[in-house]
Amino acid sequence: MVIDKRKVRTAIGGTVVGNFMEWFDFGIYGYLAVTLAVVFTSDLPEPWGLLVTLLGFAISFIVRPFGGLVLGPLGDRIGRQKVLFLTMAMMAAATALIGVLPTSAQIGLWAIVPLYLLKMVQGFSTGGEYAGATTYVAEFSPDRRRGFWSSWLDVGSYVGFAAGASVVALSTWITQSISGPDAMTEYGWRIPFLVAIPLGIVAIYFRLRIPETPAFENAAEVNLDKDDPYARLGIIGILRHHWRVVLIGIAIVAATNTAGYALTSYMPTYLETEVGISNLGAAIATVPVLIVMSACLPLIGRLSDRIGRRPVYFIAAGSTLVLMVPAFAVMQIGQEWAVFIALAMVAIPVAFYVAVSASALPALFPTASRFGAMAIAYNVSVSLFGGTTPLFSQGLIELTGNPYMPAFYIMFFALLGIIAMLSMRETAKRPLLGSVPTVETRAQAERVVATQDSNPLIDTSTMPLEILHAAREGDGEVDASAQASTRS
């Protein structure tokens, strides 16, 4: 199948803006956690107010599997593009509505209830967002450059988080200059959430323009045989046929997101409460690190196209074990330069993890059930381990009094990730399971067809037979609208 580069760029751009929006909200909530504790839980004593606020972050992740169980199989039935539009609209609306909620000064502790409900809406929508976005970009990317193209998805994620942190920092500086040190708790906290309104409109516009993936269109009429692992399966069928790969995905996602959410969503709280860095100072240190890290992701994605996804994952897990404790030790110095260096050390393994996530994880599952399987593996793991990282990390510190507990927590999941990586099959340079090879030019298509029987990177037994026969009998180019037949 030949993919037009212009369509690839349009498709990637449309998904990147959605991930930007999702992580923009994470950035806002993470950097306003201490402020929101005052706004929504002023009647609770310390540290309960902060823990209740962080619980709101965790609740959004607890709901994610339910969103994944609904939206994932739906995306396998009606298409990736339609579900991605729905998730974007839900996320933008919920984020904006948080900005108009009443505070505890107005309605007491009841203020936390609508906040939790809107975080649940966000969690439900993100249950389909990342699984759908990674499925989408993986299916739209050519086999030999899937790592490079897919890495741009997480560029949007971390730039979005940096944008959220920047908006919080700018809002803090402006409102405090105008109204004094209490300005953010009085009204300034609303501004970053309301900024989601114009951003959401732009993101929804781009989502409306993205096309459906050729891989989905080619598999649109796959069989529904529950005994065929390459058929379109429901939740039970996915767990029955692909449970081993689902467990591998859960472990790798846990390793990735405990480190990732520690760097982003938890670090502002840690720097304020354990190191004594102000909210503004934490943003000033974090934003440049995230921007530089984001710029490195396509380079690492391209590296994974050359050496493979598994070696890059091993680099990520190994650097986690080596760098995490020293990073938290440097952080304890408490100076701005030390915090910057420490965050850069944490960002190194995170960059290697996330640069290959969007290309490696969807490739573990066959096309007909990819969205649903990704939704299960990713969201179960993120809800149990990733999104709860801020809550568990702070809770472990409160329980033990040891400021290094977040580092040990992250390292534990890196070890589990290494075990999973040993069982993970390499997917770089290979066609997606259940799809024909995807290339960028007609000449590449002709070479693939000519060598497909002897090429060790191609397993024709996993491909839709009708399209495969068309490629063999034709001139090497498969029409993107061709429909796949039932596998034999």
Structurally, how many domains does the chain consist of? 1
Higher model confidence: residue 187 or residue 227? 187
Q: DSSP letter at 388? A: T
Q: What is the rounded average pLDDT of the residues 184-206? A: 88
SS3 439: strand
450 or 17: whose pLDDT is higher?
17
- How large is the average pLDDT for residues 412-418? 96
Distance CA 228, CA 84 (A): 27
Work out the pLDDT band at 406, boundaries 50, 70, 90: very high
Tokens of 280: 């503004």
- At 468 the pLDDT is 46
Between 25 and 446, the more confident residue is 25
Q: How confident is the model at residue 259 (pLDDT cuts 50, 70, 90)?
A: very high
143 lies in some domain: yes
Q: Which domain holds residue 404?
A: 5-423
Alpha-carbon distance 8 to 6, whole Å?
5
**Residue type at position 63:** V
Instruction: Give domain status of residue 413, yes or no.
Output: yes
pLDDT band at 222, cuts 50/70/90? low
Which has the minimum average pLDDT: 103-112, 186-195, 304-313, 478-487? Answer: 478-487
The pLDDT tens digits for 287-340 are 889 899 999 999 999 999 999 999 999 999 999 999 999 999 999 998 888 999
Say which range, 260-269, 274-283, 357-366, has the weakest mean pLDDT.
274-283
pLDDT greater at residue 481 or residue 221? 221
391-394, long-range: CB < 8 A, 24+ apart:
391/51, 391/54, 391/55, 391/57, 391/58, 393/262, 393/266, 393/270, 394/47, 394/50, 394/51, 394/54, 394/266, 394/269, 394/270, 394/273
Alpha-carbon distance 90 to 60, whole Å? 13
SS3 1: coil
pLDDT tens digit string along 81-120? 888 888 888 888 898 899 999 988 888 888 889 999 999 9
Which ranges in 262-278 belong to alpha helices (H)? 267-270
DSSP 2: B
User: What pLDDT, on the 0 to 100 scale, is given for residue 201?
Assistant: 87
Range in 153-167, 211-225, 442-456 with the lowest mean pLDDT: 211-225
Residue 210 reports pLDDT greater than 50: yes
Average pLDDT over residues 136-156: 88
In whole angstroms, give the CA distance from residue 327 to residue 325.
5
Residue where the block lists tokens 């058929």: 231
Closest CA to 73 of 380, 435, 374, 434: 374
Taking alpha carbons only, the member of 371, 388, 413 closest to residue 123 is 388
Summarised one tens digit per residue, pLDDT across range 434-475 is 777 777 767 766 776 666 666 666 766 666 654 444 444 444
Q: Which two tokens stand for residue 168?
A: 């919080």
Residues near 431 by beta carbon (within 8 Å), at least 6 away in sequence: 143, 437, 438, 457, 458, 459, 462, 463
Residue 302: inside a domain: yes
Q: Is residue 349 pLDDT above 90, yes or no? A: yes
| Distance, CA of 115 to CA of 101 (rounded, Å) | 7
The per-residue pLDDT for 139 is 84
Query: What is the pLDDT at residue 453?
Result: 67
Residue 467 within a domain: no
Instruction: For residue 455, tell me if it sits in a domain.
Output: no
Q: Do residues 153 and 134 lie in contact, with contact meaning Cβ atoms separated by under 8 Å?
A: yes
Q: What is the pLDDT of residue 477?
A: 42
Which position has the higher pLDDT, 123 or 231? 123
Per-residue pLDDT tens over the stretch 374-385: 889 998 898 888
Structure confidence at residue 479 (pLDDT): 42
- Residue 484 forms part of a structural domain: no
Angle, nearest 10°, between helix axes 196-209 and 80-98? 170
- Of 169, 176, 135, the C-alpha closest to 153 is 135
Residue 467's pLDDT is 45
Q: Is residue 258 part of a domain?
A: yes
Nearest Cα to 410, choosing from 398, 393, 396? 393
Q: Which of 192-196, 218-222, 394-398 has the lowest mean pLDDT?
A: 218-222
pLDDT at 488 > cutoff 50: no
Residue 429 within a domain: no
Identify the CATH number of the domain in which residue 357 sits.
1.20.1250.20
Across 16-34, b (16+ Cβ under 10 Å) vs e yields bbbbbbbbbbbbbbbbbbb
Measured between its terminal Cα atoms, the distance across the chain in Å is: 21
Helix (H/G/I), strand (E/B), else coil: 324: helix
Q: Which of 26-30, 135-139, 164-168, 186-190 has the highest mean pLDDT?
A: 186-190
Helix axes 279-307, 336-360, angle to 10 degrees: 40
Which pLDDT tens digit goes with each residue over 45-84?
776 777 888 788 778 878 888 888 888 888 888 877 888 8
**pLDDT at position 224:** 56
How many percent of the chain have pLDDT more than 90? 28
The pair of three-digit structure tokens given for residue 227, joined into one six-digit string: 């005994």
43-to-56, 107, 183 alpha-carbon distances in Å: 17, 11, 19
